[in-house]
Structure 1
């Protein structure tokens, strides 16, 4: 066996002591020591796999790029040049990606795992451009359903229609007079139902009453129009028959396959129910879970209680961990449910909705911290963000507080509140494609002054606020390449606007890659296991057909995923 770095160093010291070498000779010996390939030696190199690429971006600041790395037992055991690694492990297997670029396994720091697979089992409305377009898709999808089954879908956005106005039940009733239809808006914070669906509600939806933290949209006569916002959604949705265990398993399987195809090795699931968590545990026990899941309990419900009663579930293999809770401060900007400190610029008198009052939100946050859990709060509007910061500040005073609490979205922030992110160590979990989806109308919502504190990633980065990047799938497409492109260009796929939308807030390519890798791992307390290609970490990596760190901006979206690996195993190969 060749000597370790420590042995070489000790031998150099002996030479210096016994032979009284000059300083230059000593430095030469030390340089020899540090030039040895990083990583331990293995007795049986047949169990080693050397992965070679045209370029490997490690996201390790001490060794930013390498040509190759060695994998054994699902872990990275060495990094360096292909030639040196082959010499070190002469009988190793070779995985040749010498024409491709490799980055650490990409992690989506905010997704909705089961919803991704459910989207493939329901009517897909994302990308529709009119109510007529939606009806056409719904009619085609209905043909696949048995009689009496609810027609469910997601993805409509009135901001993309020729006439920007909310839809009504009447738009659906003509085509579906008997079958219940229930369609979530693209952001998940509003829903559109037909009359058949609305009849399942426990009380008359007409009148002037409202649900706390929600809005039943009504016409001038007080009649419910068929659109429900935030907490009002449950009046109808809670009556929809729950998916069977088999349907949940099918959705989860579809979700992980989708993730693998787009280069994702893991996600932080923003709202895991106890039912879904138990299904994931079963999949893991059977060896069927292929991607890493960092589960956030779905608010003040059974999963939250389970974690408080039984303690956080921390997987030493980092495949399925649950040590956080996802709470909601407010709604979404697109449906004007985001809570603002002053009225909407395009809807005077409307300041949005608080899903939870600040008092209740703080109670949940303090309880979570007391249970040893990370607090992750959805916050969109500047009032929602301020309430979130206040709740986290209270949670941070709990005796056994873990810290690293997260603001999920960190979207519209009053300028005076940025410093509090830094002071409290709050992680900003942001979704770059939200900015490029919202940029067509976001300034109309909040005005020219407030927009300066919106989607302000570079402002936060310069202040030292940790960033974790994701997509919020299925609100946005889960493709991390699209998130990377949005982060560094702040443009849509047609390169509009020419220089980017508020381009000073764009991230560098290095910052964007960090946010989808080591930044996301840090946000899950997993930075010692995941997020970079270095010795001692899991062999998770994503293979591209081109160098996303070097190609022109207008070529980034052309990038193809060649392979996705988790713990050294290919979960997708093109």
Structure 2
């Protein structure tokens, strides 16, 4: 054996051997799982021995939806998540500009006015207080709304004559002048004006982001990276991953959720021969990603009825039903599953219509379509998801903020049937947990804590929000392991500690199944193992 991990408390997530003490690994594959007595007999002179000292081992975690490239990029931008006022936004921008002379664009991410005293969105005049010399933009934490300064508007060529963008919204003031606020598809006006990322940039950002993921015990990532580059330049992302893998520098396993928002672009991608499952054990093409609505906090999530706190809008549907039907059907015909973003119940209904249409017109065996976010729901939608065998990609730590606004935004009745993960499980749906990073942190322990306690990260409310939707610790861990593996057709290769599977594992400083639930969020990852090798180790 190449290595043996022993003297541990190993939870395998495998019903055949639920708990073990030791694991033997050869050539990156788990060869045997069992007791210390059984596994230590397999030791040879060359075997590397790892004494777990009674610590807890789990399968490596899978984040079923994030934006790894954008997360890596966010590490090089102004971090606005701590801002609690417009003055904070301005101060943080000025400080960053002072510490990074020579910038040609100032970029920041993470503002969220939901819990500010002044809840209006930052506009061009606010950001002009930071700089009028170079263009700049600040992205809301949800990524669905961008604010820019006057210099950026000039560079973008946006003025009072600019027309609204289908599937998006540009905010103008009472005099008809642009305020520098762009939502949904209108954000493309900002992105198209930015300096283009090159393959070398993309490689750096991916590696930097993935290293932080390893520190959270994440060994597999389902990621939408095409959204971080201009439409049609997806080959840069593919080249970056292929080069990293060839160099032996790709830190985690990748399942790419491919954002291809137009029929010509999708058709080109498919004609190049891309399909679900194409690739290697480290990098594979996953699904067609479609951004079909916005965010709840931005009031751009598409609802079937008007917002409770703003009856003038139902949000934004970025596609017509016909457009969605055509895209999902085209992908289905060529063997590419779909995983659309949908936060509102209106968007979920549209995507289910498109998936059902594709399955009827072009039936294929084992097409594991999925829905990303699945926040605003009712029992009928959840039942329909089950009937269509759709996988739910859920971000449990979203409730850290959303529990405080959901009722105001969608009404108390719809709030009661939303974020309904227990109902989804009881209905028989497959659930895969993730984070949507950099929208929120990809800290897995925080996600499990939120799913199990239904509390925010400050421990509120006592007893949990919509407590009938609490799930067990086991089910939460399963959603972060086998759930993600199933979504990528990998249930036979990873997601549990079992003979013949990849030796991807994580070591924790506490036993997640035998501590008070309120302490789960404080568990620390001690080490992360990929292909049998320790790729992250906490400082001691």
Give the TM-score taking structure 1 as reference length: 0.89
In the other structure, the counterpart of 1:562 is: 526
Residue 194 of structure 2 corresponds to residue 247 of structure 1: no
In the other structure, the counterpart of 2:173 is: 219
Residue 248 of structure 2 corresponds to residue 284 of structure 1: no
Residue 384 of structure 2 corresponds to residue 420 of structure 1: yes
Contact 2:158 2:178 in 1 (8 A): no
- Alignment RMSD (CA, Å): 1.7
Cα distance in structure 1, aligned partners of 2:49 and 2:69: 36
Which consecutive residues of structure 1, in runs of 5 or more, have no partner in the other structure?
1-46
Structure 1 pair 561/303, CA: closer, same or farther in 2 (3 Å)? farther
Per-residue CA deviation, residues 261-318 of structure 1 (Å, 9 max, x unaligned), is 1211011012433311210011101111120000011123657733443132746752
Cα distance in structure 2, aligned partners of 1:134 and 1:203: 23
Residue 211 of structure 2 corresponds to residue 257 of structure 1: yes
In the other structure, the counterpart of 2:340 is: 377
In the other structure, the counterpart of 1:236 is: 190
In the other structure, the counterpart of 1:524 is: 488
In the other structure, the counterpart of 2:231 is: none
Structure 1 pair 205/189, CA: closer, same or farther in 2 (3 Å)? farther
SS of corresponding position for 1:199: helix
Contact 2:274 2:285 in 1 (8 A): no
Residue 450 of structure 2 corresponds to residue 486 of structure 1: yes
Cα distance in structure 1, aligned partners of 2:210 and 2:509: 22
Q: CA deviation at 1:559?
A: 1.0
Match of 2:95 among 125, 136, 140: 140
Cα distance in structure 2, aligned partners of 1:157 and 1:73: 46
Cα distance in structure 2, aligned partners of 1:464 and 1:293: 27
Cα distance in structure 1, aligned partners of 2:517 and 2:103: 49
Per-residue CA deviation, residues 419-452 of structure 1 (Å, 9 max, x unaligned), is 1101100001000011222111111000001112
Q: Which has the larger radius of gyration?
A: 1
Cα distance in structure 2, aligned partners of 1:313 and 1:366: 14
Q: CA deviation at 1:401?
A: 5.6
Cα distance in structure 2, aligned partners of 1:305 and 1:456: 38
Contact 1:329 1:357 in 2 (8 A): no
SS of corresponding position for 2:211: helix
In the other structure, the counterpart of 2:353 is: 390
Cα distance in structure 2, aligned partners of 1:564 and 1:225: 46
Contact 1:490 1:500 in 2 (8 A): yes
Cα distance in structure 2, aligned partners of 1:374 and 1:430: 18
SS of corresponding position for 1:306: helix
Cα distance in structure 2, aligned partners of 1:155 and 1:403: 35
Q: CA deviation at 1:85?
A: 1.0
Matches within 5 A, 1:493-508: 493-508=457-472
Cα distance in structure 2, aligned partners of 1:316 and 1:69: 28
Cα distance in structure 2, aligned partners of 1:299 and 1:432: 26
In the other structure, the counterpart of 1:457 is: 421
Match of 1:83 among 25, 37, 60: 37
Cα distance in structure 2, aligned partners of 1:556 and 1:274: 40
Contact 1:314 1:320 in 2 (8 A): no
Q: CA deviation at 1:157?
A: 0.5
Q: Which consecutive aligned stretches of 4+ in structure 1 deviate over 6 angstroms post-superposition?
A: none
